[in-house]
Amino acid sequence: MIKYSIDRGGILNLALRATGDREISTTTGVTFDIMVRDYGVPIPRPLDLLRTQLQEVEETPSIPTPAPTVTQ
């Protein structure tokens, strides 16, 4: 999300804490769903490469592995 924001010219604010800072601070967590719903972040499209790889896995027939033989 950081790269996405920077690439789109967004502003990113970070709050850094000093070593030993034990003060409790109130923060708001943000999920991807909130970013889509409240801030209009577009849902990424599946990568074409990933889609191709998944299709190859689905189309590859499974070949049974023979049971090992025991030699005495």
68 in any annotated domain: no
pLDDT at 61: 64
36 in any annotated domain: yes
- Domain range for 51: 29-57
pLDDT at 31: 84
Q: How far is CA 28 from CA 2, 15, 31, 46, 60, in A?
A: 17, 13, 10, 29, 46
- How many helices and strands (H and E) does the chain possess? 3, 0
5 exposed, middle or buried (CB, 10 Å; 0-12, 13-18, 19+)?
A: middle
47 in any annotated domain: yes
37 in any annotated domain: yes
- 67 three-state secondary structure: coil
Taking residues 48-60, report their average pLDDT: 64
39 in any annotated domain: yes
Task: Write down the pTM of the prediction.
Answer: 0.39
- 71 three-state secondary structure: coil
Tens digit of each residue's pLDDT (9 = 90 or more) over 1-48: 778 778 888 887 777 888 999 898 888 788 888 888 998 888 877 666
State the total domains in the chain.
1
Evaluate if residue 50 carries a pLDDT over 70: no
